[in-house]
Structure 1
């Protein structure tokens, strides 16, 4: 295993009081539209038919302005261990928690949009140092995507998922991890897939909640549930993916609103958490208000609204249709995720699936919605991946 390099520097998050005061001032001065013109008695998912309901947003703005503590989240990030390094000329921020176990396996865990490293702060400790001595342990590396959080914002085009995957290999090599496992969902699932397909010499295997097959596969032979999954994904991309088309085509335009208005940023992100979680009415049935606001405040303080949106312009529909993944793969399809693929389709790309699961509950953010289940699933999946590799 290569030795770690010396261009990795400790990093501590600390927002200025001026920035926090400015946030509170903007929240107090927010101009809100009129109430939505749809069915409004809750709890009922129909309240969200036109987007975030006014009453819900107003309540959350008030909580953000008066009771929420950013300093608590800052302290948690600093407790885990934060670092920065430079890869391909770009500063990359990452969390790094080394396990105390001598048999621990390096694991890179990649978030997507509208997430961040905040997605994983509640699962890192148990994955690194499990209370069960028989559970697998991992050296956790959790990077912020380029343009997200405390990573630098690319100033030129080219930072799509392929280049990010290559950067993750360089990052892991800098840390002394020549071979490692990878895990992710959303854009993190795309990057994890590319790692498994293009950089197999470095990969012990992968765990992903996003596992698309190559385009153009037939629905013949699929079960009724698998047909429903395929139709749901088609319906999503044709009728409910306006945010993705906006960010893929005009990220700069929407970026002005996301960087200038904390309320606009909150609504833009909250809308996705509400639609993509396995809940009946609001995402706060499974995710705490504080954790969602940790995520949104990280976007706000780092002015990441535009730069994070650009990953869509760089990478939308760019997964190579000919890419194949032959390293061992564990795949989990959560029932309320926005894209679920039949196993018959996924295995056309992921040709060494050693574990396939479709739980009864969970959505797009399983590490936040079901942290205990997510930990158990990642452990079980990667245990089978590592056994298959051995």
Structure 2
């Protein structure tokens, strides 16, 4: 019964995602899996090996980060009576910058983020980073593969607390779940494309090829935010391969959509500020976290950030953007997806 419920939970998503299937030709779908997104001329030089990977916060990166935080410019104070209605309340930035530079233990957080087995493998010219956790079960127990996809302003960090719950074997269920959690192309520790065109549809093909690389011809998937849009496309493109689909993002009306327009039209300009200033990066990401958590949080001077999250977890997430300077390549996903090429498919 539990296995049946796991499958049936995907039904609505499958129906919604498959409405445009008649517009897609086999040639189009097959072609998506063959597009090369890496540097030209290296098509025959890339290994298909699956390589162990560990997150590393280098001393050089930490020193530079602290210097930028400690030498930040004084910001404009908020207007009287304004909390988060105009964006991140700047009265809170000193607390967060002090915590990041002086209380965030980089060594302990690095160990925390490396608690699960992590790997990289090259898919269509891009090194894709992913977490893979297998349940400990008797040999005769069915293990179901589950691909879990994050969005923006998130990262694989979203799933750290849920991975042990999902992969814990319950004999009553009669089956277990193995999770594969990739950093989306251009996010975290996954490569971004070297040329335009890698949007939600194309990412669906890349991540399906990742699952094929791992030996899964059929699998379940879960997605939130942009991960949901990508998973929708996986269901549409590969209906025979997706066993079930769950999303926590079936419909969303975001309280502040200005960031979407900016990231869909001028991602590289935004990226100049976010790459240079950790304060700017933190504020831009966390205003979205606040707005996406509770609509009422825009009337809170602290954005409600302390209600649902601890400070370490929020800065962990920001580190997935700062460590390898991935803000720009991450938000290009908006420009590559919210366009006529995508909507016309």
Q: Of the candidates 80, 87, 93, which is equivalent to residue 38 of structure 1?
A: 80
Match of residue 240 from structure 1:
256
Does the CA contact (< 8 Å) of 1:85 and 1:91 recur in 2? yes
Residues 125-274 of structure 1: pairs in structure 2 closer than 5 A: 125-130=164-169, 132-135=170-173, 137-211=176-250, 233=253, 236=254, 240-274=256-290
Q: How many residue pairs align between the two structures?
A: 289
Report the 3-state secondary structure (helix = DSSP H, G, I; strand = E; otherwise coil) of the residue aligned with 1:302: coil
Query: CA separation in 2, counterparts of 1:159 and 1:70?
Result: 32
Secondary structure of the equivalent of 1:313? Answer: helix
Q: Do structure 1's residue 119 and structure 2's residue 169 form an aligned pair?
A: no
Q: Summarize the Cα distance change of 1:6–1:99 in structure 2 as closer, same or farther, 3 Å threshold.
A: farther
Matches within 5 A, 1:284-303: 284-303=306-325
Return the alpha-carbon distance in structure 2 between the equivalents of residues 261 and 120 of structure 1. Answer: 27
- Report Cα offsets for 1:183-216 as digits up to 9, x if no partner: 011100001111111111111010012235xxxx
Q: TM-score scaled to structure 2, two decimals?
A: 0.79
User: Match for residue 328 of structure 2?
Assistant: 306
Q: Which runs of 5+ in 2 are unaligned?
A: 1-46
Give, in whole Å, the separation in 2 of the partners of 1:75 and 1:165: 30
| SS of corresponding position for 2:83 | helix
> Which residue of structure 2 aligns with residue 386 of structure 1?
none
Distance of 1:115 and 1:129 partners within structure 2: 24
Q: Hey, what does 2:97 align to over in structure 1? A: 61
Distance 2:172 2:77 in 1: 53
The CA deviation string for residues 63-117 of structure 1, in whole angstroms up to 9 with x for no partner, is: 1111112332321332201100011111111011111233221000000011001
Structure 1 gaps of 5+ residues are 40-45, 213-228, 324-390
Superposition TM-score, scaled by structure 1 size:
0.70
1:50-72 CA distances to partner (integer Å, 9 max, x unpaired)?
11112212111111111112332
Alpha-carbon distance change, 319 to 32 in structure 1, aligned in 2, over 3 angstroms: farther
Q: For the Cα contact (< 8 Å) 1:7–1:85, is it kept in 2?
A: yes
- What CA distance in whole angstroms lies between the structure 2 residues aligned with 1:201 and 1:241? 35
Secondary structure of the residue that 2:178 maps to in structure 1?
strand
Give deviations 1:321-352, integer Å, cap 9, x for gaps. 798xxxxxxxxxxxxxxxxxxxxxxxxxxxxx
For the 8 Å contact 2:205–2:234, the answer to whether it is kept is yes
- What's the counterpart of residue 66 of structure 2? 24
SS for the counterpart of 1:152 is: coil
- Cα distance in 2 between the residues matched to 1:88 and 1:302: 21
Moved more, 179-188 or 47-56: 47-56
Distance (Å, rounded) in 1 between the aligned partners of 2:310 and 2:171: 29
